[in-house]
A and B are shown apart, each in its own frame.
Chain A
Amino acid sequence: MDFARKVREEVKGGIAGPNRTCEYYPCHFEGQDCTFCFCPLYPCMDTELGKMVIGRKGDPVWSCMECHFTHRGEVATDLKARLEHEPMVPASPERNHEILAEMSKNHRKRARSIMVLGATSGAGKSLITTALCRIFSDRGLKVAPFKSQNMSLNSCVTRAGEEIARAQELQARAARAEPSALMNPILLKPKGNATSQVIVDGRPYADLDVSTYYDEFVQNEGMRAVRDAYDELARDNDVIVIEGAGSPAEINLGAKDISNMVTAEIADAQCILVVNMEWGGAFAYACGTIMLLPEEQRKRICGIVFNNLQGSADGLRAGIIKLERLVKIPVLGIVPHLNLTLPTEDSMHMMAICPDQGAVRVGMIRLPHVSNFTDLEALAIEPGTEVVLVSEPSQLSQVDALVIPGTKNTMEDLEWLRASGLFDGIRAMRGKVPIIGICGGYQMLGREVIDETGVEGGVPKVLEGLGLLDVVTRFSAYEKRTVQVDGTLLSTGEEIRGYEIHMGRTEGTMRALLSLREGGIEHNEGAVSEDGMVIGTYVHGIFDLPPVRKKLLSLARKEWHRGAAEVAYQEVVEKSIDQLAAGVARSLDLKSLIEHAEGT
């Protein structure tokens, strides 16, 4: 075979170092070693180095297009020396595996790490992590974000179909890396009653209550998942920017809190502590957090960041000097409040993004278990549009369009709708304003929701839906669909994309909303009422691209300025990441962090 002959030639003689006479040079990176144009270990099947793809003939083939491993000089030299002693070249797959394992031990890297801790939740850890990812990526480093455990109802689906927190997806984007479950090995989605759905490595693992989670899961399965994911990520990157969770000084939890100092230890990370100035008491929170950590953990903290300053920093200097003297850790700087358009994790302050007088007012039903309300952010940034929360019937009269968002618990929230009086209120809005239900909201819009096995609430139950769409939803098994989708809006043929995260199936005979492509097959999705004013879909992120946004707003009660729909949300986000990175870089003394990241 041609391949085997070429590999033998490479091992016998060939070129060492870069081959600048080759017309394809540099096919990977400037200065690459061209000893092995054809990799002798192909197909290594090492998923850190390559992946299976669908080839031109439609068959699965091993692709290692992005693998730089054998093009690093020291790796090529070592590999060549090893192969010269092999009785057979190329070697058997088993032997190749052994060779690669030995080579990996010697040459695969372990990333340096920087960890962003917070004195509280909402300190701005997530944004500072995002900023550092972009700052390091801009310096040419291969960067990945990592958060061992995230509690959030706002998740998204990676290309591989794994579910991770939105924050890590945004950070991956800032790092210019492909989002992966490795970046967020444990995701907790609170379900109420001190119970969370636990997602491990991107897949649903179990529903656990607080004490089972901390006393059993965390110490065993949890630690393993965190360690494995981190190790794998570290082998393939120059630097990992780790985000902590909540405060590292929850002294009642001690070693049960694996997402802060335990992770810092696994990664041997240098830590910075972020403190939100908005609520006051920032000096106290900084000092208290540091003083409550045991000595060996305190040593990891190399800087304090004051975040979210509104107003002037004049006059803070004296306080900062006092604090530095007391805790013996430098303050790296003060980051002002930055006005950015970025998906938020758990706060709902998106509502303040466009507080526009005379705007089209989109009401979002404030379901008790609302999840993925980030869907609405793309609407909130639309000029001339404002998103408000609706939690009681009297507020319905003030909205021009209505969105029923996703929920972690359709059954319970449907019962809440009834108890709150919103059930009849929403029905009375039929035909007056456009009503769109996403995911759980879509399920509620149907005639009936049938929980056959108690998937949602523990006991089998049938509830009447709002009856605005002629569809029925059934929960039959504990299974969850998590997939990225793209396709078109059927009424206009315009492109849309998004992702689905749900349990249950919804069926009916109504006109569909979307045509989705999935694995080469097209199928219809969603439902639209006869008059077009009631819409249901499972697709999250449906407003990110203009078509559905445009549709909803053009149906809204008020005259709406159509030209405005062309704001491409993703572009705004990309620009915001750059602004965030610039703002953080301007405000902080990053010298020592950059030196650490670059290993200099």
Chain B
Amino acid sequence: MSARIMVQGASSGCGKSTIVALLCRHFASKGYKVAPFKATNLSLNSYVTGEGLEIGISQAFQAWAAGIEPEVCMNPVLLKPGGDAGIQLVFDGRPLMDLKRGSQVPLDLLLKATKRAYQSLAERFDVVVIEGAGSPVELNLTERDIANMRTAAIADAPVILVGDIEVGGVFAGLFGTYTLMSKEDRKRVKGYLVNRFRGEENILIPGFVMLSARMAVPSLGVLPMLDVRLPSEDALSLGTTKTSAGGGGDAREEWTRNLDSLLFEARKHLDLARIEDIAFGRDSAAIATTQRNE
């Protein structure tokens, strides 16, 4: 069985996709065969694989970050909101049906697809980096949410939480996410990290000390806000309106370059060694704290 780690977020647009890409690139740079995975994606931005199958654009970029070509099992379910027509359900890369307003996603089917796709990756790769979707504790959705804790269970994956500090309230977001999880789910959480920070890291330390004590998991670091252009999955994380720049270069190459400069920074700010340990199940400290927590 491969090593695996899952990135879940305190909110949408907190930088999960980028962190997953970053971890893919990190593991790849250390010589591992690594693949990204996201069970379900709600997005209008998609990519078509070499086989002509449609997946979320983020998994395509993450695959390139890992140095491999995108394939459909990296994102077996894609939901494309289409306004009045409802949501188009893209299943294993092909449109399966339009879900009308109020109708339910066929859970069994999706769970089966998730299992199959994940297994396929786990058999072929050393490491799978899994991305969650939105927040794992949308209390009204938990029964139908397969992209977060259900996927973590399928992959038996340790989870790290990401909080976006740009809008403030990051301690509350992380602590609330952790608190609202079930006891079982909480055991999977092995650490947290703060994304998009501007300023002097030391100012946060008293907060981390308190938070780590209350959550019984360690801080994995603070990623600074960098002005690098990375593709965003949806308009939410686009920020400001930009008219097309018509730059001319290969956007994919530019993006990979940007990711490398982000990784360069990440190596200074994140505890990547510990993240590796978590992925490979070697993180004794996190295990110990979890046991204490029970």
Question: CB within 8 Å of B: which residues of A?
Answer: 118-122, 194, 210-211, 246-247, 249-254, 278-289, 291-292, 315-320, 322-323, 326, 348, 351-352, 366, 388-392, 394-395, 398
Given the known interface contacts A251-B210, A289-B172, the answer about A281 and B242 at a Cβ–Cβ threshold of 8 Å is no
B28, chain A: closest CB distance, angstroms: 29
Contact of B169 among A246, A351, A352, A366 (CB under 8 A): A246
Report Cα–Cα, A352/B10, bound state, in Å. 27
Contact B200 A288 (CB under 8 A): no
Contact B134 A280 (CB under 8 A): yes
Contact of A289 among B134, B176, B204, B246 (CB under 8 A): B176
CB neighbours of B200 from chain A (8 A): 194, 210-211
Contact of B206 among A120, A252, A282 (CB under 8 A): A252
CB neighbours of A366 from chain B (8 A): 240
CB neighbours of A390 from chain B (8 A): 243
Q: Does B228 contact A (CB under 8 A)?
A: no
Report Cα–Cα, A279/B173, bound state, in Å. 11
Contact A281 B10 (CB under 8 A): yes
Q: Which of B69-77, B136-144, B275-283 contacts A (4 or more CB under 8 A)?
A: B136-144
Report Cα–Cα, A319/B206, bound state, in Å. 32
**14 further interface pairs, Cβ-Cβ under 8 Å (given A251-B207, A280-B13):** A194-B200, A211-B200, A249-B171, A252-B206, A281-B138, A285-B169, A288-B169, A288-B172, A288-B174, A291-B179, A292-B172, A322-B139, A348-B241, A394-B246
Contact A280 B175 (CB under 8 A): no
Contact A279 B12 (CB under 8 A): yes
Contact A247 B168 (CB under 8 A): yes
CB neighbours of B242 from chain A (8 A): 389, 391
Report Cα–Cα, A323/B177, bound state, in Å. 12
Contact of B177 among A211, A284, A289, A391 (CB under 8 A): A284
**15 A-B residue pairs with CB within 8 Å:** A251-B207, A279-B13, A283-B139, A284-B173, A284-B177, A284-B180, A287-B180, A288-B173, A288-B174, A288-B179, A289-B176, A318-B139, A326-B179, A348-B240, A389-B241
Contact A284 B205 (CB under 8 A): no
CB neighbours of A286 from chain B (8 A): 176
How many chain B residues touch A (CB < 8 A): the figure is 43
Report Cα–Cα, A262/B131, bound state, in Å. 39
CB neighbours of B1 from chain A (8 A): none
Given the known interface contacts A210-B199, A251-B171, the answer about A287 and B176 at a Cβ–Cβ threshold of 8 Å is yes
Contact B172 A285 (CB under 8 A): yes
Chain B residue with Cβ nearest A286: B176
Contact B135 A280 (CB under 8 A): yes
Contact B139 A323 (CB under 8 A): yes
CB neighbours of B199 from chain A (8 A): 194, 210
Chain A residue with Cβ nearest B140: A319
* CB under 8 Å from chain A, chain B span 165-214: 167-169, 171-177, 179-180, 199-200, 203-208, 210-211
Chain A residue with Cβ nearest B211: A251
CB neighbours of A120 from chain B (8 A): 167-169, 173
Contact A283 B169 (CB under 8 A): no
Q: Is the interface of B mostly helix, strand, loop or mixed?
A: loop
Chain A residue with Cβ nearest B137: A284
Contact A395 B245 (CB under 8 A): yes
Report Cα–Cα, A289/B71, bound state, in Å. 40
Report Cα–Cα, A315/B102, bound state, in Å. 10
Contact B175 A250 (CB under 8 A): no
Chain B residue with Cβ nearest A355: B241
Q: Does B109 contact A (CB under 8 A)?
A: no
A246, chain B: closest CB distance, angstroms: 4
CB neighbours of A284 from chain B (8 A): 10-11, 135, 137, 172-173, 176-177, 179-180
A105, chain B: closest CB distance, angstroms: 40
Query: 6 smallest A-B Cβ distances: which pairs?
Result: A288-B176, A252-B207, A319-B139, A247-B169, A288-B172, A319-B140
Report Cα–Cα, A120/B247, bound state, in Å. 35
Contact of B245 among A252, A289, A348, A392 (CB under 8 A): A392
CB neighbours of B208 from chain A (8 A): 252
Report Cα–Cα, A351/B240, bound state, in Å. 8
Contact of B134 among A281, A316, A317, A322 (CB under 8 A): A281
Report Cα–Cα, A284/B14, bound state, in Å. 14
Chain B residue with Cβ nearest A278: B236
Contact of B241 among A121, A289, A319, A352 (CB under 8 A): A352
Report Cα–Cα, A280/B145, bound state, in Å. 13
Report Cα–Cα, A210/B200, bound state, in Å. 9
CB neighbours of B11 from chain A (8 A): 279-281, 284-285
Contact A119 B206 (CB under 8 A): no
Contact A279 B236 (CB under 8 A): yes
Residue with the greatest number of chain A CB neighbours at <10 A, chosen from B134, B203, B206: B203
Q: Does B9 contact A (CB under 8 A)?
A: yes
A355, chain B: closest CB distance, angstroms: 9
Contact B211 A119 (CB under 8 A): no
Chain A residue with Cβ nearest B101: A312
Report Cα–Cα, A289/B177, bound state, in Å. 11
Report Cα–Cα, A289/B211, bound state, in Å. 12
Contact B171 A398 (CB under 8 A): no
Contact B168 A250 (CB under 8 A): yes
B241, chain A: closest CB distance, angstroms: 5
CB neighbours of B171 from chain A (8 A): 247, 249-252, 288, 292
Given the known interface contacts A210-B200, A279-B11, the answer about A318 and B140 at a Cβ–Cβ threshold of 8 Å is yes
Contact A281 B177 (CB under 8 A): yes
A209, chain B: closest CB distance, angstroms: 10
Report Cα–Cα, A391/B229, bound state, in Å. 13
A395, chain B: closest CB distance, angstroms: 5
Contact of B175 among A122, A278, A288, A316 (CB under 8 A): A288
Given the known interface contacts A121-B167, A250-B168, A389-B242, the answer about A285 and B176 at a Cβ–Cβ threshold of 8 Å is yes
Mark each residue of chain B from 34 to 60: 1 if its CB lies under 8 Å from any CB of chain A, else 0. Answer: 000000000000000000000000000
Chain B residue with Cβ nearest A247: B169
Contact B177 A288 (CB under 8 A): yes
CB neighbours of A318 from chain B (8 A): 139-140
Contact of A121 among B14, B168, B205 (CB under 8 A): B168
CB neighbours of B205 from chain A (8 A): 252
CB neighbours of A392 from chain B (8 A): 245
CB neighbours of A291 from chain B (8 A): 175-176, 179
